[in-house]
Amino acid sequence: MNAADDLLVERGFSALTIEGIAQRAGVAKQTIYRWWKSKVDILLDTLTDDAREALEWRPDTDAGAEEALTSHLRRVADFFQEPAGQVLQALLGHAQLNEDTAASLRSGFLREQRERDAAGLRDLLAREDITVADRGVDHLIDLSLGPLYFRVLVLGAPIDEELVVTTAQLTLSLARTLSAGTP
Average pLDDT over residues 173-182: 88
Cα–Cα distances in Å, from 52 out to 10, 39, 46, 48? 23, 20, 10, 6
Exposed/middle/buried for residue 124 (C-beta within 10 Å: 0-12, 13-18, 19+): buried
Mean pLDDT of 68-96: 94
Cα four-point dihedral sign 104, 105, 107, 108: positive
Regarding predicted confidence, which is higher, 28 or 157? 157
The domain covering 39-180 belongs, at the CATH homologous superfamily level, to Tetracycline Repressor, domain 2 (1.10.357.10)
Residue 164: per-residue pLDDT: 98
Those residues whose C-beta lies under 8 Å from the C-beta of residue 117, and which sit 6 or more positions away, are 57, 141, 145
- Please state, for a pLDDT cut of 70, what percent of the chain lies above it: 99
From the list 150, 134, 143, the residue with the least C-alpha distance to 169 is 143
Q: What number is the average pLDDT over the span 167-178?
A: 96
- Look at 52-61, 114-123, 137-146 and tell me which has the smallest mean pLDDT: 52-61
Give the residue-averaged pLDDT of 126-141: 93
Asked if residues 87 and 43 have their Cβ atoms less than 8 Å apart, the reply is yes
- 18 vs 6, more confident: 18
Greater confidence (36 vs 140) lies with: 140
Range 115-123 average pLDDT: 95
Q: Average pLDDT for residues 116-129, to the nearest whole number?
A: 94
Domain range annotation of the chain: 39-180
Give the pLDDT band of residue 182 (cuts 50, 70, 90).
low
- Selected residue with higher pLDDT from 49 and 9: 49
Average pLDDT of the chain to the nearest whole number: 90
Distances from the Cα of 165 to the Cα of 69, 84, 156, angstroms: 9, 23, 20
Percent of the chain with pLDDT over 90: 62
- Please say whether the beta carbons of 137 and 106 come within 8 A: no
> Distance between CA atoms of 51 and 155, rounded to whole angstroms?
22
Residues 17-68 have pLDDT tens digits of 888 888 888 888 888 888 888 888 888 988 998 898 899 998 777 888 999 9
Cα distances (angstroms) measured from residue 29 to each of 15, 18, 57, 107, 177: 16, 7, 37, 27, 55
DSSP annotation of 106: I
